[in-house]
Amino acid sequence: MNWTFKTLLAAVLFGAVAMTSHADDKVDKALIILTSDSVQSQGMALVLGNAMADHGARVDVLLCDSAGDLALKDATAPALKPRDVTPVQMLRGLMQKGGSVNVCALYLPNSDRTPADLAAGVGVAMPPAIAAQMLDEDTRVFSF
């Protein structure tokens, strides 16, 4: 065999091995940390979270700062095109798919809200639990 053929063969074999190992790297758990007050950023984070849940991933959402307002019983937000759905509706839809939603530990103490103001199913995150999720090698962390 000449050198060019050997190089090409090695590249093809390496590519096949890389593709096989990449296919085994499916993400089963995702943590979305949402802090943005931008409606489009909130919407995109939740569109992606719902899409990940549709692909079978367990999706947890941590809402901090002004994004924590999405977790309130009385939350409102403008509808986003093209589906005319609000980030609040997308968040509730993700919860119906089994996603968990928590506000960060600093949200309630630094607002005029209490746990009673949170929508049904929304919890308050504990820093040790979130830190463990962030360090879990099987969890992908996304921040918006």
Give pLDDT tens digits for 73-105.
999 999 999 999 999 999 999 999 999 999 999
| Predicted pLDDT of residue 20 | 40
Single out the residue of 133, 128, 126 nearest to residue 107, CA to CA. Answer: 126
Q: 27-143 is classed in which CATH architecture?
A: 3-Layer(aba) Sandwich (3.40)
Condensed to tens digits (0 to 9), the pLDDT of residues 7-57 reads 333 434 444 444 444 455 677 999 999 999 999 999 999 999 999 999 999
Cα distances (angstroms) measured from residue 140 to each of 22, 29, 57? 15, 6, 10
Task: Please tell me the pTM assigned to this model.
Answer: 0.82
Domain ranges of the chain: 27-143
Condensed to tens digits (0 to 9), the pLDDT of residues 60-76 reads 999 999 999 999 999 99
Outline where DSSP puts E strands in 3-99.
29-34, 58-63
Condensed to tens digits (0 to 9), the pLDDT of residues 109-120 reads 999 999 999 999
